[in-house]
Every structure is written in C-alpha cells, then in structure tokens.
C-alpha cells in the first residue's frame, strides 16, 4: 500500500536524525512488559534467527536493527540477523524465497498481503504460541488489526502499527473562508461534506476543498459508507456493479470532474499526489491515515486537525490496515521466533516507535504517547475510530490474489473514477470479469494453503 512508502520516507526526513534520542538505537531489553515464554530461548544454547523486513534507507534500517538488538538484550542466547530490501522489492523477494523454502524465520507482513502469502505457505498460525505464552497480552493489540493479520480465523502475525482513514483539514483555510471546522464527534454527511468543499474552493486561486490519493484503498471507504462493497461476503464475485458501489464511486468521481471541488489529479503515476497537494496549503481537506501526521507536521506550513471521514447511507465506514511480524512456516525455531516477535512488538518497542513518530501503535497501551503530541488537537479520535466508537472500522478485506487485483483495478477502474476516461460504467464493466477471475484464482490458492 502506498502509505508504507510515504510513511517511511517522510518519517525519515522528519525524525531520522533523532532516533537515538528516543531510544530506538539503544532500546532497553523490554523487561517489565510482556514477553514470550516457550522453550529454547530461555536456555543457554545459542540460537540464530533471520528477520526479513523492508527498508529504503540506512536510517530506517537502524530502527529495525535497534529492535533486533533488543531481542538479544532480553534473551542473550538469541541473535537476530536483520535482512532488508526496499519496500518495492521486498514482496517479489519474499515470493522467491517461499518457492525455494529459504524465507527468514521472522517475516515482515502487511495486512493487505496476508491472505496471499499465508495461503502460499509463508507463515504459520500463532494460535499455539499465544496459548503457551499467556504473558503476551494479546488483548493489548487492537482487535481490528489482528483480525486483518489473521488467516482462516487464526492470528498469523503480531502487529506494530495500524490506522484507519481520517479526514485531515487545513484550519487556516477554514478560518480564511469563515467556514466552521469539521466536528471531531460527528461525521459530516456527504451533502455537508460537498457543501463545505464548495465553500472552500476558489479555482481562480487554484484552491480546492478536497483531495485524496487515487489508490483503490481510498475508494473503499466511500463504497462501504454507502452500504456497498467491492466483493461479496464469501469473496467469490465482485460487487463493484451494485447500485450502492456505483453510486459511491460516482459521487467521488463527481467531486473531481463535475462539481470540481476536488483538486484535479494531474499525475496518476505519483502515489504521493494527494498528500503533496494538501501539504502545499492550497487544499482544505484530505483523506489519509494517522501515519501521515508526522509528515504533515514537518512539511505543512499551516495548522491542521483531523475529523472522521464523511458519512454516507451506511455511516462513516473505513478499514484498518497495518503491518506486523509473523513466524515463517519454514522455520524449526518457532518458540524462539515468537520470543523475538514478542519483544519487537512489545510495549517498550512500540512506545519507542511511537515517540519517534513511526506511526500509530498497534498496542493500545502505547496510544497515550501518540495522543500527547499536537497538532492535531483531536488525536484522541483515532482510537475512537479504530474501536468503532465513532463510525465503524472493519478489517481490510483482501484475497490471495490481491496484489494482482489492485494492479488490475489501477488500470481499469481508477482512470474511470478520477479522469472520466473511460466513463465509470465502462470502467466497471471492464474490471468486473477480471476481478471475478482473480477471485476464483484466489479461492483455488487458498484451498491449497
């Protein structure tokens, strides 16, 4: 997902120089929190584990190396060898390693890619390890992200970050236009949202009311909020052509092409387009995740805040997505791997990552650290959104062929929504049979997983 790349690069620009200052380079041994029990790691026999993770810069690699070193401080006989490659190359490399049964013991995994890699034998269930290690407080992790990192109903990774879609807004532009700020306790209706965007649009100044990323991930909240979906409950057929989904996509398309209250998308090849336009100070509202807060703090020269995403017929409905670490299906050191992951995603580790601005923590116990910094003033609403106390947040739904599906939708559907070429009906008509075919392939892969 595009936010992974954006989050890492923006974070490193903003916070890379201060890693040691927040304890990531010399993270303590994580004592006093939860930790794995299990056999093996607590003995004297030396254990060597490989950990595969994505990393685009030396600064980012230091973050993960600090956590690898923390494992050894807690379990002196366990040494963790960190193996990194770029985010874009990571997934192809992992697929190659799975095919040759050479994947690392600890595997970095995204929620969106979990079904595909779990079905292909990349990871094993953590159910037994969690049962053997009651000191690991599984309930501290947000349930919605652990559901997204599960396969066949069983957890296959422990998360380190997550986030739902949020509505960012430029307080300065709202003040200049004399428009009331969006509520932090009630989502705007779609009509209210469009009206607000219209008041904040001045095409003569190239100022617009709204912008968003054009990945399909950011289309989903509109579909869900209108009571639709992109595939049926059993993930056997696409439902993009349902009246609810079509109405939602048309509403979104109209913001850009008919109502012209959204900044025109001029570069479909730039995954950072939405964030860059919002950070320029010329756009009033932007949909993105909490992982972008540190980037906007650093790069935007204006005051901002966050609100729940607009509410359609079904309410304000978004997904939760994030990343975590799982136990390789090829490893013969499952107990030791679980111990390492319990440190890497433990309370001390996630609190340090949060202090560094690495994103929104997957553990609820680390949330107060995130909420202690401003802007935004309404940081506390993120937890309410994640817990569905404000709107509804669901696990991100993906399949074993999701990567291929996203590529196909980017080619067939995204230009229809945001550029009007082809028209939306034609775009959906072109995408649906290909989506259905990929869903059938996914079922076949999952049945063999």
pLDDT in tens, 435-444: 999 999 999 9
H/E element, 99: helix 87-99
pLDDT, tens digit, for every residue of 24-74?
434 444 444 565 554 444 467 999 999 999 987 787 788 899 999 999 999
What pLDDT shows up at residue 36? 56
Distance CA 52, CA 37 (A): 23
What pLDDT shows up at residue 38? 44
Residue 80 contacts residue 106 (beta carbons within 8 Å): yes
Angle at 203 between CA 202 and CA 209, to 5 degrees: 55
DSSP state of 361: B
Q: Which residues of 355-381 are buried (b: 16+ CB within 10 A; e: fewer)?
A: bbbbbbbbbbebbeebeeeebbebbeb
What pLDDT shows up at residue 343? 97
What pLDDT shows up at residue 35? 58
Other C-beta atoms closer than 10 Å to the C-beta of 31 total 11
Q: How many CA atoms lie within 13 A of 12 on its CB side?
A: 14
DSSP codes of every residue in 123-184: EE--HHHHHH-TTS-GGGB-HHHHHHTEETTEE--EEEEEE--EEEEEHHHHHHHTPPPPPS
Residue 143: Cβ-neighbour burial (10 angstroms; 0-12, 13-18, 19+): middle
What pLDDT shows up at residue 374? 80
Which residues make beta-bridge pairs with 96? none
What pLDDT shows up at residue 26? 42
With H, G, I as helix, E, B as strand and everything else as coil, classify residue 251: helix
Q: What is the pLDDT along the chain (449 residues), one digit of tens a residue?
A: 433 333 334 333 433 333 333 334 344 444 445 655 544 444 679 999 999 999 877 877 888 999 999 999 999 999 999 999 988 789 989 989 999 999 999 999 999 999 999 998 899 999 999 999 999 999 999 999 999 999 999 999 999 999 999 999 999 999 999 999 999 999 999 999 999 999 999 999 999 999 999 999 999 999 999 999 999 999 999 999 999 999 999 999 999 999 999 999 888 888 889 999 999 999 999 999 998 887 888 888 999 999 999 999 999 999 998 999 999 999 999 999 999 999 999 999 998 888 876 679 999 999 999 888 888 999 999 999 999 999 999 999 999 999 899 999 999 999 999 999 999 999 999 999 999 999 999 999 988 86
Distance CA 324, CA 111 (A): 8
């Amino acid at each position: 997902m595009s936010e992974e790349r954006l989050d890492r690069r923006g974070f490193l620009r903003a916070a890379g120089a201060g890693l040691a200052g927040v304890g990531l380079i010399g993270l303590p041994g994580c004592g006093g929190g939860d930790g794995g029990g299990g056999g093996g790691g607590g003995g004297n026999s030396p254990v060597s584990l490989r950990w595969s993770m994505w990393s685009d810069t030396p600064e980012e690699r230091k973050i993960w190396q600090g956590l690898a070193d923390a494992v050894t401080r807690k379990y002196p006989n366990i040494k963790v060898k960190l193996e990194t490659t770029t985010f874009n190359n990571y997934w192809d490399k992992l697929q190659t390693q799975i095919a040759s049964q050479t994947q690392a013991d600890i595997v970095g995994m995204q929620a969106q890619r979990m079904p595909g890699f779990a079905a292909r034998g990349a990871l094993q269930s953590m159910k037994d390890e969690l049962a053997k290690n009651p000191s690991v407080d599984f309930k501290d992790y947000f349930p919605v992200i652990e559901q997204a990192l599960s396969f066949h109903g069983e957890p296959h990774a422990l998360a380190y970050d997550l986030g739902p879609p949020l509505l960012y807004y430029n307080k300065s532009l709202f003040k200049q236009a004399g428009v009331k700020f969006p509520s932090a306790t009630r989502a705007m209706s779609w009509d209210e949202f469009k009206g607000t965007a219209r008041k904040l649009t001045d095409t003569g100044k190239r100022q617009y009311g709204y912008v968003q990323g054009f990945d399909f991930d950011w289309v989903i909240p509109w579909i869900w909020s209108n009571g639709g979906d992109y595939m049926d409950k059993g993930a056997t057929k696409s439902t993009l052509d349902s009246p609810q989904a079509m109405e939602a996509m048309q509403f979104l398309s109209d913001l850009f092409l008919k109502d012209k209250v959204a900044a025109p998308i001029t570069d479909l090849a730039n995954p950072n387009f939405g964030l860059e336009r919002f950070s320029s100070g010329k756009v009033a509202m932007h949909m993105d995740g909490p992982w972008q807060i540190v980037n906007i703090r650093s790069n935007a020269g204006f005051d901002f805040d966050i609100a729940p995403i607009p509410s359609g017929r079904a309410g304000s409905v978004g997904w939760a997505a994030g990343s975590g670490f799982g136990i390789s299906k090829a490893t013969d050191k499952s107990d030791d791997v679980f111990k390492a992951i319990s440190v890497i995603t433990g309370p001390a580790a996630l609190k340090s990552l949060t202090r560094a601005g690495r994103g929104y923590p997957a553990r609820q116990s680390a949330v107060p650290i995130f909420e202690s910094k401003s802007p935004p003033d309404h940081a506390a609403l993120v937890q309410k959104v994640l817990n569905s106390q404000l709107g509804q947040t669901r696990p991100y739904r993906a399949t074993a062929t999701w990567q291929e599906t996203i590529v196909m939708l980017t080619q067939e559907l995204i230009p229809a929504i945001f550029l009007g070429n082809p028209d939306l009906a034609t775009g959906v008509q072109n995408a649906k049979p290909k989506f259905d075919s990929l869903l059938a392939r996914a079922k076949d892969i999952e049945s063999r997983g």
